[in-house]
Amino acid sequence: MSVESEMFYIRVPASTANLGPGFDSIGMALGLYLDIQGRYSDRWEVIPLSEELSSFPSDDSNYIVMVAKEVAEYYGKKLRPCRLEISSEIPLARGLGSSASAIVAGIELANIAADLNLSTQEKSRHASIFEGHPDNAAASVMGGLVVGWHSAEVTDVLSFPIEGIKVIAVIPDYELRTEDSRNALPEKLAFKDAIHGSAAANVFLGAVLSGNWPLAGEMMKRDRFHQTYRAHLVPHLPRVEELAKANGAFGTALSGAGPTVLCLVPESAACSVQETLQNEFPDFDVKVLDVDNEGSKPLFLEDEHTKSEWC
Ligand SMILES: Nc1ncnc2c1ncn2[C@@H]1O[C@H](COP(=O)(O)OP(=O)(O)OP(=O)(O)O)[C@@H](O)[C@H]1O
Ligand SMILES: N[C@@H](CCO)C(=O)O
Q: Does the structure show a pLDDT above 50 at 126?
A: yes
The answer on 226 and 156 residing in a single domain is no
Chain mean position to CA 191: 29
In a domain, 267, yes or no: yes
The answer on 297 and 211 residing in a single domain is no
The answer on 87 and 186 residing in a single domain is no
At 226, which amino acid appears?
A: H
- The answer for residues whose C-beta is within 8 angstroms of residue 133's C-beta and 6 or more apart is 17, 24, 25, 150
Which pLDDT score is estimated for 297? 86
Dist CA 277 CA 208 (whole Å): 24
In a domain, 307, yes or no: no
Tell me: the pLDDT tens digits for 89-113?
A: 999 999 999 999 999 999 999 999 9
In a domain, 85, yes or no: yes
Dist CA 223 CA 41 (whole Å): 49
Q: Does the structure show a pLDDT above 70 at 302?
A: no
In a domain, 136, yes or no: yes
- The answer for residues whose C-beta is within 8 angstroms of residue 40's C-beta and 6 or more apart is 3, 6, 80, 81, 82, 83, 113
Among 74-78, 145-149, 303-307, the range scoring the smallest mean pLDDT is 303-307
Ligand 1 pocket member 133 (CB < 6 A): no
The answer on 140 and 51 residing in a single domain is yes
pTM of the model: 0.95
Q: How far is CA 77 from CA 48, 201, 219, in A?
A: 26, 40, 45
Task: List the Cα angle 168/175/17 in 5-degree steps.
Answer: 45
Mean pLDDT of the chain: 94
Ligand 1 pocket member 95 (CB < 6 A): yes
Which ligand is located closest to the Cα atom of residue 184?
2
The answer on 189 and 113 residing in a single domain is no
Ligand 2 mean position to 27 CA, how many Å? Answer: 9
Which pLDDT score is estimated for 41? 94
Ligand 1 mean position to 247 CA, how many Å? Answer: 32
Which pLDDT score is estimated for 3? 45
Confidence of residue 299 (pLDDT cuts 50, 70, 90): low
- Nearest CA-CA partner of 220 in 136, 153, 67, 212: 212
Tell me: the pLDDT tens digits for 194-231?
A: 999 999 999 999 999 999 999 999 999 999 999 999 99
Q: Does the structure show a pLDDT above 80 at 305?
A: no
Q: What is the CATH number of the domain that holds 279?
A: 3.30.70.890
Report whether 245 contacts 276 (CB < 8 A).
no
Report whether 68 contacts 60 (CB < 8 A).
no
Among 12-16, 22-26, 48-52, 254-258, the range scoring the smallest mean pLDDT is 48-52
Q: How far is CA 30 from CA 51, 78, 100, 139, 288, in A?
A: 21, 32, 12, 9, 10
- Ligand 2 site residues, Cβ closer than 6 angstroms: 17-18, 23-24, 133, 135-136, 178, 181-182, 226, 256-257
Task: State the total domains in the chain.
Answer: 2
Ligand 1 pocket member 93 (CB < 6 A): yes
In a domain, 306, yes or no: no
Dist CA 284 CA 289 (whole Å): 15
The answer on 150 and 273 residing in a single domain is no
Q: What is the CATH number of the domain that holds 296?
A: 3.30.230.10
The answer on 271 and 192 residing in a single domain is yes
Q: Write out the residue range of the structural domain in which residue 119 sits.
A: 7-161+292-301
Ligand 2 mean position to 179 CA, how many Å? Answer: 9
Q: Is 177 annotated as a binding residue?
A: no
Which ligand is located closest to the Cα atom of residue 229?
2
Confidence of residue 310 (pLDDT cuts 50, 70, 90): confident
- The answer for residues whose C-beta is within 8 angstroms of residue 202's C-beta and 6 or more apart is none
Confidence of residue 6 (pLDDT cuts 50, 70, 90): confident
Ligand 1, atom nearest to 256 Cα: 26
Which ligand is located closest to the Cα atom of residue 176?
1
The answer on 191 and 67 residing in a single domain is no
End-to-end CA separation in angstroms for the chain: 37
Which pLDDT score is estimated for 298? 78
Report whether 96 contacts 167 (CB < 8 A).
no
Q: Does the structure show a pLDDT above 50 at 154?
A: yes
The Cβ of residue 48 has, within 10 Å, a number of other Cβ atoms equal to 17
Burial 148-178 (b: 16+ CB within 10 A, else e): bebeeeebebebeebeebbbbbbbbeeebeb
Which pLDDT score is estimated for 2? 45
The Cβ of residue 310 has, within 10 Å, a number of other Cβ atoms equal to 13
In a domain, 145, yes or no: yes
The answer on 297 and 282 residing in a single domain is no
Provide DSSP, 172-215. -SS---HHHHHHTS-S---HHHHHHHHHHHHHHHHHHHTT-HHH
- Nearest CA-CA partner of 244 in 208, 209, 281: 281
In a domain, 308, yes or no: no
The answer on 150 and 261 residing in a single domain is no
In a domain, 311, yes or no: no
